[in-house]
Chains A and B, each alone.
Chain A
Amino acid sequence: MKLGGILLPTFFRGKRAEKIRRPDLASQWQLMWWKFRKHKLAMVGMVLLGIFVFMALFAEFISPYPPYDRNPAYVAGAPMGIRFFEEDGTFHMQPFVYGNKAQRDPITLRMKFATDTTQIWKLQLFSHGKPYRLLGIIPTDLHLFGTDKGFVHLFGTDFTGLDIFSRTVHATRASLGVAIIGVSVSFLLGAAIGGAAGYFGGALDSFIMRFIEFIRSIPTLPLWLALAAALPRDWGPLATYVAITIILSLLGWTWLARTVRSKLLATRKEDFVLSARLSGCSDFRIIHRHLLPSFISYLIVDVSIAFPEILLAETSLSFLGLGLREPVESWGVLLFAAQSIRAIDQAPWLMIPGIFVIVAVLAFNFVGDGLRDAADPYAR
């Protein structure tokens, strides 16, 4: 008893002492991370984004089928529910989907698919399927999941029998790709143009600011439409992809240019800038070595908030049929199929990619929010 009374506190104290944080020794990024971690929603957003990135990188592995694999036995079929219990209540350790029977409707002559509760197609993790190259390099035929017999369409299929789950997973790649490339190009343009405006000031500054106001005063959607419509229709999917990305970033740099400019205006009179000039640093060096890094955390926040805008822009353009086109898949391209009343009436599951868009946009916003709080040293 006595011994425990002496030993236990020291033991705990010792343990706690190891874990004490040292904000005085922590780097800027470490401090930001500590604050960020406290922001629950931002952490959720971070995890979601992690999943999206994983999906984009390993789309072939996660999706059970290649995105162009038609399944004639299940056209415009509804999502197949994963079950553990049979209709009669029998429990299976291994999840399964019920089999399907195709019948032709005797009146409308349309194909109808009825669940066949007599057939049980068991789901398997790491099943073998169509061969592909992982990350474009490693040849393999392993998929995250599959069935022992029959097929599984988690999100159903579209009117040509393509698996919507596989397509949505693959579409993550283009959607995030456009967003990432678009934001990066915007970032470079914004940092360079805003940097020049803020540092040199004067006539250049006024000119750039008026130009930005001009760009921002143009209604966005018509401008995108006009630019996208100006792209030759006979360009290949890759060229269109690149062109759309560039169009989006050419219009998206203005917000960042403004942030960079205002931050530069605030910091360029600092003494450390004067002392850098005294040391013979050139203007370019002062901007990119001394000034930009001093507010990079704010820029990162801005960038994370800009992601959803570009993501949505691409989705809207593609949805209207002016952005990316088949055979490139993006979430917007997939949603393009869900435009008609007929589609929504007969196959409402075509809108599932829209949920991905919403989740991704929310995740980006949450992360941006968390970053903004974390990057501000004065926020309590």
Chain B
Amino acid sequence: MEPAVENPVLSVKNLQIVLDNGGSYIQITDDVSFSIGRGEVLALVGESGSGKSVTALALMQLLAQNLKIAHGEILLRTQSGSSTDIAKLGTRGKAIESIRGARMGMIFQEPMSSFSPIHTIGAQIAEVVQVHESASRQVARTRASDLLAQVGIPDPVGALDRYPAEFSGGMRQRAMIARALICGPELLIADEPTTALDVTIQGQILELLRNLKKNLGMAILFITHDLGIVAQMADRVAVMYSGAIVESGPVREIFRNPTHPYTRALLEAVPRLGDLDRGRRIQPISGSMPNIYAVPSGCRFHPRCPVAQLPRCSDFAPPVFSKGEHLVACIHGEKAFGP
């Protein structure tokens, strides 16, 4: 599945990540493909265990030791059009290290523990500049305080010399964002950046990310399972299920015309204000995510699918249908999109 994006920052093609299971390989993601254009927010949505975070870590070549990229391309393009295939760079060495933090930044779920407790916030943010640009300590510190101001930390100069323990969760996530952005990356990978924060802080962080995106023109790969956040943040959505993208398209299109039964079920499972008054109950998706060691044949969603047509769905991989940028991998796509 490959939606057309012009001049993408990042395009992932047929990415397959496998788990080394004592010699035999277990597929974790199955030919995942997506692209992110400049200044665009792509939301990667799915349940826990659907392979979202693994995909994000693969983009950084930071997979755990027992995981590896079996095949596929991860093309990171510069403005001028030349591209680097991250999948070929390996997990160690200068080449990948010069991309991490400089051309791609990443923030993740745990703002509480993602700073080393024994170094000051300033030292850890400035370090990124020092590592990548061989700038002097003073220059790096100035840059760090500028960034801290930009992410909305009061008294940014004083904050440089404070320790992570003195920051609240929201401030730490802001500092993490500053650290990810200090070298002006083209792409920010945000792996559930607001999950560990309470709702008011969550709103502030999302607002901040939106503003930064607008001001810096950077692309964001936003990984989440919260469809409310998707609606607020994303330009396009890719829905992932059991290691494969099942539906993707512009955010409005997906929310208005969800075509894949899984996407529809996900939207049904979102609580809304006034549900109780209207007598509506959240519809859980029956069953659970397939075990990666025993993936169902055919369409991986068919055992849980309310509209599955057996044996078609269990015997054959689902066909892909498209209408404009909206793609879906399901037999029902035909009906929705027309032949």
Known contacts A280-B100, A280-B101, A283-B92; is A275 also within 8 Å of B131 by CB?
no
Contacting B at CB under 8 A, from A316-368, are none
Q: Chain A interface mostly helix, strand, loop or mixed?
A: helix
* Docked complex Cα distance between A279 and B62 (Å): 11
Contact, CB under 8 Å: B116 / A272: yes
Flag if A274 contacts B62 (CB, 8 Å): yes
| Residue B226 CB within 8 A of the other chain | no
The residue in chain B whose Cβ has the minimal distance to the Cβ of A275 is B114
Q: Which of B106, B108, B113, B116 has the most CB of A within 10 A?
A: B116
Are A279 and B115 within 8 A (Cβ)? no
Q: Are B113 and A270 in contact (CB under 8 A)?
A: yes
**Complex contact A278–B115 (CB within 8 A):** no
- A290 an interface residue at 8 Å Cβ cutoff? yes
Instruction: Check B119–A271 contact: CB distance below 8 A.
Output: no
> Which residue of chain B has the shortest Cβ distance to A291 in the bound complex?
B116
In the complex, how many angstroms separate the beta carbon of A280 from the nearest chain B beta carbon?
3
Contacts of A272 in B (CB 8 A): 113-117
A282 to B101, CA, bound (A): 12
Contacting pair A278 B180 (CB below 8 A): yes
Q: Which residue of A lies closest to B97 (CB)?
A: A280
Does A289 lie at the interface of the complex (its beta carbon under 8 Å from any beta carbon of B)?
Answer: yes
Question: Nearest CB to that of B102 among chain A residues?
Answer: A280
Chain B, residue nearest A28 (CB): B118
A28 to B117, CA, bound (A): 10
Q: In the assembly, what is the distance between CA of A28 and CA of B165, in Å?
A: 12
A275 contacts B100, CB within 8 Å? no
State whether the Cβ of B313 lies closer than 8 Å to any Cβ in chain A.
no
Within B65-112, the residues touching A (CB, 8 Å) are 65, 92, 94, 97-102, 105-106, 108, 110
Inter-chain CA distance A289–B127, complex, in Å, is 10
CB distance from A178 to the nearest CB of B (A): 32
Q: How close is B262's CB to chain A, nearest CB, in angstroms? A: 30
Contact with B along A196-219 (1 / 0, CB 8 A): 000001100000000000000000
Does A150 sit within 8 A of B, measured CB to CB? no
Residue pair A293, B115 in contact (C-beta under 8 Å): no
Closest A residue by C-beta to B60:
A278
A94 within 8 A of partner (CB): no
- For residue B264, CB closer than 8 A to chain A, the reply is no
Instruction: Please tell me if the beta carbons of A280 and B132 are within 8 angstroms of each other in the complex.
Output: yes
Tell me the bound Cα distance from A290 to B124 in angstroms.
9
Taking each of A202, A281, A282, which has the highest tally of chain B beta carbons within 10 Å of its own beta carbon?
Answer: A281
Docked Cα-Cα span, A11 to B62, in Å, equals: 61
Pairwise interchain contact B179-A281, C-beta atoms closer than 8 A: no
Q: Given known contacts A277-B62, A281-B97, is B127 in contact with A271 (CB within 8 Å)? A: no
Cα(A282)–Cα(B93), bound, Å: 8
Least CB distance from B161 to A in Å reads 12
**Once bound together, how far apart are the Cα atoms of A275 and B179, in whole Å?**
9
CB contacts between A and B, total, < 8 Å? 72
| Least distance between B97 CB and chain A CB atoms (Å) | 5
B176 at the interface (CB under 8 A from A): yes
Question: Which residues of the other chain, A, contact B110 by a CB distance below 8 angstroms?
Answer: 271
> What A residues does B62 contact at CB under 8 A?
274, 277-278
Q: Give the complex CA separation of A278 and B191 in angstroms.
A: 12
Given the known A-B contacts A270-B113, A271-B110, A285-B131, are A279 and B118 also in contact in the complex, defined by CB atoms under 8 Å? no
Does any Cβ of B come within 8 Å of A46's Cβ? no
Are A280's CB and B114's CB within 8 A? no
Q: Decide yes or no whether A276 CB sits under 8 A from chain B.
A: yes
Chain A proximity mask over B242-263: 1 for CB below 8 Å, otherwise 0 = 0000000000000000000000
Asked if A294 is at the interface of the complex by the 8 Å CB criterion, the answer is yes
User: Chain B contacts of A283 at CB under 8 A?
Assistant: 92
B117 touches A280 (CB 8 A): no
Given A280-B101, A280-B102, are A294 and B60 also a contact pair (CB < 8 Å)? no
Given the known inter-chain contacts A274-B62, A283-B92, please indicate yes or no for A294 contacting B118, CB distance below 8 A: yes
Q: Considering only CB atoms, which chain B residue lies closest to A286 in the complex?
A: B116
What is the 8 Å Cβ interface bit string for chain A, positions 279-303, against chain B (1 contact, 0 not)?
A: 1111101000110011000000000
B190 → chain A closest CB, angstroms: 12
B132 surroundings in chain A (CB, below 8 A): 280
B128 at the interface (CB under 8 A from A): yes
CB–CB B100/A274 < 8 A: no
**Residues of A contacting B65 in the complex (Cβ-Cβ under 8 angstroms):** 201-202
Assess the A294–B116 pair: CB atoms within 8 A: yes
Contact status B108-A290, CB under 8 Å: no
A277 & B119 in contact (Cβ 8 Å cutoff): no
A193 to B180, CA, bound (A): 32
Which A residues are within 8 Å of any B CB, using their own CB? 28, 201-202, 270-272, 274-283, 285, 289-290, 293-294
Nearest 7 interchain pairs by C-beta: A280-B101, A279-B101, A280-B100, A271-B113, A275-B114, A272-B116, A279-B128
14 A/B residue pairs, CB under 8 Å, sorted by A:
A272-B115, A272-B116, A272-B117, A274-B108, A277-B62, A278-B101, A278-B105, A278-B106, A279-B179, A280-B100, A280-B131, A281-B101, A282-B94, A294-B117
